[in-house]
Amino acid sequence: MTEVVDRPAGKGQRPPATTKPVPGPSLAQPAVDVEGLGRQLLGKWAAVRLQARDLAARPDLHKIEGQTHTEHRARVFGQLKYLVDHEAVHRAFPAALGGADDHGGNIAGFEELVVADPSLQIKAGVQWGLFGSAVMHLGTSEHHVKWLPGIMSLDIPGCFAMTETGHGSDVASIATTATYDPSTQEFVVHTPFRAAWKDYIGNAAIDGLGAVVFAQLVTLGVNHGVHAFYVDLRDVETREFLPGIGGEDDGVKGGLNGIDNGRLHFTNVRIPRANLLNRYGDVAADGTYTSPIASPGRRFFTMLGTLVQGRVSLDGAAVAASKVALQAAIRYATERRQFNASSHTDEEVLLDYQRHQRRLFTRLATTYAAGFAHEQLLQKFDDVFSGAHDTDEDRQDLETLAAALKALSTWHALDTLQECREACGGAGFLIENRFASLRADLDVYATFEGDNTVLLQLVAKRLLADYAKEFRNVDFGVLARYVVGQATGAAIHRTGLRQVAQFMADNGSVQKAAIALRDEEGQRALLTDRVQTMVAEAATALKGTGRLSHEKGAALFNRHQNELIDAAQAHAELLQWEAFTDALRDVADPGTKVVLTWLRDLFGLSLIEKNLSWYLMNGRLSMQRGRTVGEYINRLLVKIRPHALDLVEAFGYGDGHVRAAVATGAEKERQDEARAYFRRQRASGEAPVDEKVLMARTAAAKRV
């Protein structure tokens, strides 16, 4: 048995832990170096994160619950100026214009704003991460000089007008057009029908003076695909729409009501030829189109790829929100007592219940994995945008990685916020504890900057392309040997020979089965094998699609869409597991390494348990090892329990970030007061006799 020791709670520290003994694996418990782990979690851009967290802890930037959406919008717009004044949002912009050319640091600081108010984070993202970045990355130096200073200072609040009512994630099919008129050297921007209205556009309802509008570029009768155009929206003095431009307010939403989302439409609006953001495609005065990228498809994906930072930042913000939720819920669970299962006098601390540990620790493990994976994504992003590693392959890798991780982390954040809410009971439903509010605000993260399901399909297509490339140039003999090997492997798996081998190796021992599962290489083999098998099976099923008609090829792909998306998700989970495993190699403190290894194992085995039916049906695990997965997870929960508070304290968020009443120590004070009351009552001899006790005494007396 081990005991969690009380510690004094100073300002900004966690409340004292419970003194109730909790089971442990041995008398010698490893200890977590909270400070050292915290430094590791801050990552490469630690100084920027700490600066951003200092801002996020200030009440001036906090969401005021209960405000009307109009009040909330006005407050958030004012907070943007606060960010400008405190030099918090210009890191990615050119140094020549007052920025710092720091792309990774910019995202690291920006995503921390979510703990202040998600509306502020997204409003800032619209202004500088989308509107400003589109001008910077899709425009040229003339555009930078003309518009970026006003965008950076907030003199030009703006919109990123890509999404249309009729086309969300399918950007290539948007219907707004920009048709070049050589006689006036102008583009005519036009919305041909209602479904082509730009929709859900941040800053469109009230604040936006300008917009980067995405439209099909048509010149000399040829459609050259989607390009970006700078369009003035409103008169600077009156704030009324300019002629030919109209729109409406999206109104109250399910969350993020500090942002004035709206719709925009254009009726033959003329803009100068110079307003085409022409880094990747230009139109001469006579209407001739030129581009440094000959392929229309590659050009389209290159332009959209420059805007990948939205997905990168959402991945990081989702991880931050998950951390805050778990910090509050786990603190509360160490203090709240419910039901006297093991004592006649004391109630149990919630976190001592196995099911409560399952609910919170598995999500804690996933949050750590997602956090380490995000740090790798951020490094990849910085490498590409700084020019350190900026090849076509690097950009494709970044796009795929961002799509994979953004999908998983935003879904995980929603799941974690809901589970933490429920784990705190009715208290969790109170707005003062933020779970419900944060979940409402983050709900849309799963669909903007790319619907998560669509993003995973993008990942699946990349996996298929890589699979095909692997065999594109091999000779017949190599391919034949591979096919024979695959067939042999399938035969071994599906006839149960592998399962028999596993059982013989384990010799029926639960302990041996557990050792095999907790082994790092064993986990890697299982997780990797599932991805490779799913991709190979999908590729085999889709082989020859290119020779089919367009209609039949699409139908065949559609029949296997579900398996492809499952494969992409498995791939993303493997990336997170690998990132966690990589991070373990950087942990110097022995005790911290032991505890984090348990947490990594919990993440890996939870993935295997979630997909246990696949492993059993495909012969990857014997029934013996399959039964052991859940048992070993339960053992890990017991090992992790004494370190739960240290693991969330290492996140580095203080009271000003968490801002949940259940995480202030107030619950412990209430519980201690109640326990002291009943102790005094029992000691005085004046406590009323419980009816059940009286009945037992009476029955005993009768027997005598």
**Is 87 one of the annotated active-site residues of the chain?**
no
Is the separation of the CB atoms in 556 and 548 below 8 Å? yes
| Residue 107 to residue 310: CA distance in whole angstroms | 9
Q: How many CB atoms lie within 10 A of CB 149?
A: 14
**Helix, strand, or coil here: 177?**
strand
Is the separation of the CB atoms in 260 and 159 below 8 Å? no
Q: What are phi and psi of 258, to 5 degrees?
A: -85, 0
Q: What is the residue whose two structure tokens read 């909330």? A: 72
CB within 8 A of 404, min separation 6: which ones?
455, 456, 459, 568, 571, 572, 575
Is the separation of the CB atoms in 186 and 195 below 8 Å? no
Query: Considering only CA atoms, which of 417, 543, 529, 415 is closest in space to residue 479?
Result: 543
CB within 8 A of 161, min separation 6: which ones?
198, 201, 204, 211, 212, 213, 214, 231, 264
Is the separation of the CB atoms in 340 and 435 below 8 Å? no
Q: How many CB atoms lie within 10 A of CB 209?
A: 18
Q: Are strands 210-219 and 177-181 parallel, antiparallel or unpaired?
A: parallel
Contacts 24+ apart (CB under 8 A), 512-517: 513/624, 513/625, 513/627, 513/628, 514/628, 514/631, 514/632, 514/635, 516/625, 517/605, 517/608, 517/625, 517/628, 517/629, 517/632
Q: Which of 449, 573, 649, 667 is catalytic?
A: 449
Q: What are phi and psi of 191, to 5 degrees?
A: -105, 110
Active site members: 449
